[in-house]
Amino acid sequence: MIAVEAALQRHGAPIYARRHIIHNRIVVDRLRERGVRFVEEVDEVPPGAVVVYSAHGVAPSVRIESESRELTVVDATCPLVNKVHREVQSLVGRGYEVLLLGHQGHEEVDGVAGEAPDRVHVVWSPEEIRDVAVSDAAKVGWVSQTTLSVDEVFLRVNWIRQRFPALQDPPSDDICFATQNRQAAVRAIAPRCDVVLVVGSETSSNAQRLVEVALESGAAQAHLLESARNLRSAWLDDAGTVGVTSGASTPDYLVQELLAALAAQGWDDVEQVTVASENLTFSLPRELAANASPDAEALRRHSEPQTSP
């Protein structure tokens, strides 16, 4: 989101964003009001215009088409997603086929698979893993979508290894640290909570997963809500403790608005539960960094505190 705002500051409206820059409808709507035009593919962008790639990344074919249309590209791909792209390039370059653990149709998965469509197989279900066909069982590697559950990924890696004992692991963990930390925090608070509220969009894979993790970890109820406007008082009936968390792409102000709405209903005793600190710094896309304002020189990921009002 900061990259889009910096692009607006530098180039002025309109600018174009391929797909939703992040999976959060409220953020997307606000950007649209400021002159960001969202498109599905770059062939909808006027030649020579500014286009922003979303955090989910793009396939090489998208970059080639952008160049052919002489677009000014602002690449806001998450560095962790870029790492998965490089892992696929490395595996394929060494003669491997790649099993990409992820959900068919997810933007990130489409982009990663596009690195080598004839060598990358998207799998997730037990049936897909059982039936996937490769040319050489001794030359198979795996990578994963960054927004998945660590536990579910490694369950599937074990299934894959039963079929392909020589399975090549990626050099490092692909799961987004923000996703991992939020899941760990939900696991910590859910056993103490009657209700867990997850602030996030229905289009966000990691936000939906937090609801599932809360229920799996002992919460009696768990609900996904886009903002405080979606809070239902009935959810809180007979509850003694309420947990609040958010998806990795949820702006902090939406969490604060929910806490304020809860406080207005008497839920004003707040305990912060932190399981990890996030101090990693991501630079702005190089297309913007040279002329960025001091406040936008870096994109910082900080942990959203998990709270139990």
Q: Is 3 exposed, middle or buried (0-12, 13-18, 19+ CB in 10 A)?
A: buried
Cβ(41)–Cβ(18) under 8 Å? Answer: yes
Within 10 angstroms of residue 12's Cβ, the number of other Cβ atoms is 10
Distance of CA 191 to the CA centre of its chain: 25
9: helix, strand or coil: helix
Q: How far apart are CA 35 and CA 140, in angstroms?
A: 45
Residue 127 designated active-site: no
Which member of 87, 97, 107, 108 is catalytic? 108
Q: What is the 3-state secondary structure (H, E, C) of 97-149?
A: EEEEECCCCCHHHHHHHCCCCCCEEEECCHHHHHHCCCCCCCCEEEEECCCCC
Q: 123-142 b/e with 16+ CB inside 10 Å = b?
A: bbeeeebeebebeeeebbbb
Q: Residue 181 in contact with residue 297, Cβ under 8 Å?
A: no
The residues carrying an active-site annotation are 108
